[in-house]
A and B are shown apart, each in its own frame.
Chain A
Amino acid sequence: MEEKTRMVLPYEDHFHLKTLDLKKVLTLALSRGGDFADIFLEYRISRSILMEEDIIKETEESITLGLGVRVIKKDRTGYAYTNDLSEEKIRIAALTAAAIASLPGASPQQIHLKQIKPGKEIAVVRSLATTSPLQKKIDLVQKAYHSALNFNQTIKKVQVAYGESTQYVWIVNSQGLSIKDTRPMVKLVAQAIAEKNGRRESGFYGGGGRVGLEFFFRKLTAEEIGREAAKEASLLLEAAEPPAGEYPVILAPGHSGVLVHEAVGHLLEADFIRKKTSIFWNKLGKKIGSEQITIYDDPTIPGFRGSYRVDDEGTQPTRTLLIEKGRVKGFLQDRLSARLMKKSLNGHGRRQDFTNWPVPRMSNTYIDRGEYSPEEIIRSVSQGFYVSRLSGGQVEDSGKFTFSVTLGFMIEDGQLTRPVKQATLIGTNLDILQKVEMLGSDLEFGLQTGTCSKEGQDVPVSDGCPTMKISRMTIGGLR
Chain B
Amino acid sequence: MNPDKNSNNLRQLAERLVQYGKKQGADEIEVTLYDGLEFNVDVRLGKIENLVEAGSKFFAIRVFKDKRAASASSSDLSISTLQLLIRNAIKRALLTHSDEYAGLPVPALFKVDEASLKLYDPAVSRMKPQEKIKLALTTEKISLQDKRINNSFGASFISHELRTVLSNSNGFTGEYLQTYCSLHLGLQAGQDDNLVEDYWFSSKRYLKDLAPPEEVARKAVERTVRQLNPRKIKTQNVPVIFEPTMTSWLLTFLFSCVSGMAVYQKTTFLADRLGEKIGNDLISVINDGLLPAKPGSRPFDSEGVPSQRTVVIEKGVLKNYLCNTYAARKLNLVSTGNGDGNAVIPNNFYLEAGTATPEEIIKSTRKGLLLTRTIGHGLNPVTGDISRGAFGLWIEDGEIAYPVCEITIAGNLGEILKKVEMVGNDLEFESSICGPTIKVAEMTVAGI
> Using a CB–CB distance below 8 Å, which chain A residues touch chain B?
1-2, 43, 52-53, 55-66, 75-84, 92-93, 96, 99-100, 134-135, 138, 156-157, 159, 193, 199-202, 242, 244-246, 275-277, 279, 355, 357, 391-404, 422-424, 426-428, 430, 474-479
CB-based contact A79/B52 at 8 Å:
yes
Measured CB to CB, the nearest residue on chain A to B267 is A193
Known contacts: A57-B96, A276-B151, A396-B375. The answer to whether A424 contacts B51 by CB under 8 A is no
Known contacts: A2-B88, A422-B380. The answer to whether A277 contacts B151 by CB under 8 A is yes
B190 at the interface (CB under 8 A from A): yes
Cβ contact of A84, chosen from B77, B89, B406, cutoff 8 A: B77
Known contacts: A400-B405, A477-B444. The answer to whether A59 contacts B70 by CB under 8 A is yes
CB-based contact A61/B85 at 8 Å:
yes
CB-based contact A92/B448 at 8 Å:
no
Shortest distance between the CB of B324 and any CB in chain A (Å): 13
Q: Which of B159-167, B248-256, B285-293, B384-392 contacts A (4 or more CB under 8 A)?
A: B384-392
Task: Determine chain B's interface SS by DSSP, over half rule.
Answer: strand
Known contacts: A64-B75, A157-B265. The answer to whether A81 contacts B54 by CB under 8 A is yes
Cβ contact of A200, chosen from B85, B382, B387, B408, cutoff 8 A: B382
Measured CB to CB, the nearest residue on chain A to B382 is A200
B170 at the interface (CB under 8 A from A): no
Cβ contact of A138, chosen from B76, B85, B95, cutoff 8 A: B95
Q: Which of B13-21, B191-199, B212-220, B429-437 contacts A (4 or more CB under 8 A)?
A: B191-199
Q: Which of B367-412 contact A (CB under 8 A)?
A: 375-378, 380, 382-383, 385, 387-389, 391, 405-411
Known contacts: A63-B74, A193-B382. The answer to whether A391 contacts B377 by CB under 8 A is yes
State in angstroms the CA–CA spacing of A463 and B71 once bound together: 33
State in angstroms the CA–CA spacing of A80 and B55 once bound together: 8
B44 at the interface (CB under 8 A from A): yes
Interface residues on B, range: 35 or more
B229 at the interface (CB under 8 A from A): no
A-B contact pairs, 21 of them (CB 8 A): A55-B96, A60-B73, A65-B76, A76-B47, A76-B48, A200-B269, A201-B383, A202-B380, A244-B235, A245-B446, A355-B54, A355-B56, A393-B377, A397-B197, A404-B387, A423-B387, A424-B446, A427-B406, A476-B446, A477-B444, A478-B410
State in angstroms the CA–CA spacing of A66 and B92 once bound together: 25
Measured CB to CB, the nearest residue on chain B to A92 is B1
Measured CB to CB, the nearest residue on chain B to A46 is B73
The 5 closest A-B pairs by CB, nearest first: A476-B408, A402-B389, A402-B376, A55-B97, A398-B195
Known contacts A57-B102, A83-B56, A398-B197; 8 further A-B pairs (Cβ under 8 A): A61-B70, A61-B72, A62-B74, A157-B265, A276-B151, A402-B389, A427-B406, A476-B409
Measured CB to CB, the nearest residue on chain B to A398 is B195
CB-based contact B75/A477 at 8 Å:
no
State in angstroms the CA–CA spacing of A397 and B186 once bound together: 12
State in angstroms the CA–CA spacing of A159 and B342 once bound together: 15
CB-based contact B193/A76 at 8 Å:
no
Which residues from B are CB-within-8-Å of A193? 266-267, 382
Max chain B Cβ within 10 angstroms of own Cβ: one of A59, A77, A99, A156: A59
B105 at the interface (CB under 8 A from A): no
Cβ contact of B58, chosen from A60, A83, A244, A475, cutoff 8 A: A83
State in angstroms the CA–CA spacing of A59 and B89 once bound together: 8
Shortest distance between the CB of B69 and any CB in chain A (Å): 5
CB-based contact A63/B444 at 8 Å:
no
B50 at the interface (CB under 8 A from A): yes
CB-based contact B387/A424 at 8 Å:
yes
Which residues from A are CB-within-8-Å of B95? 56, 59, 134-135, 138
State in angstroms the CA–CA spacing of A479 and B445 once bound together: 9
Which residues from B are CB-within-8-Å of A82? 54-56
CB-based contact B57/A83 at 8 Å:
yes
Q: Which of B80-113 contact A (CB under 8 A)?
A: 81, 84-85, 88-89, 92-93, 95-99, 102
